[in-house]
Amino acid sequence: MSFRAYAQREARRLGVAGWVANRGDGAVEARVEGDDDAVEAMTRWCRTGSPAARVAGVSVSEAEVSGVTSFEVRR
């Protein structure tokens, strides 16, 4: 299972919405919305990631809430 699939599973477990996608440069980008504590928990999870992940770093920035209600894997 890929980092993105694990991220989707974790997002659903935490009850956050948004998306996760691979970028052209090999990095993974995610947008996460929800309860502050759940978003923070998702951010902590991203710092470790899936069992096979090699996370070199995580950058976090705030954005306007888009109002999405599910978490999807984008290609």
Residues labelled catalytic: 4, 22
Q: Cα angle vertex 16, ends 15, 18, to 5°? A: 145
DSSP-based three-state secondary structure for 6: helix
Structure tokens of 17? 């919405």
- Rounded Cα gap, residues 66 and 61, in angstroms: 15
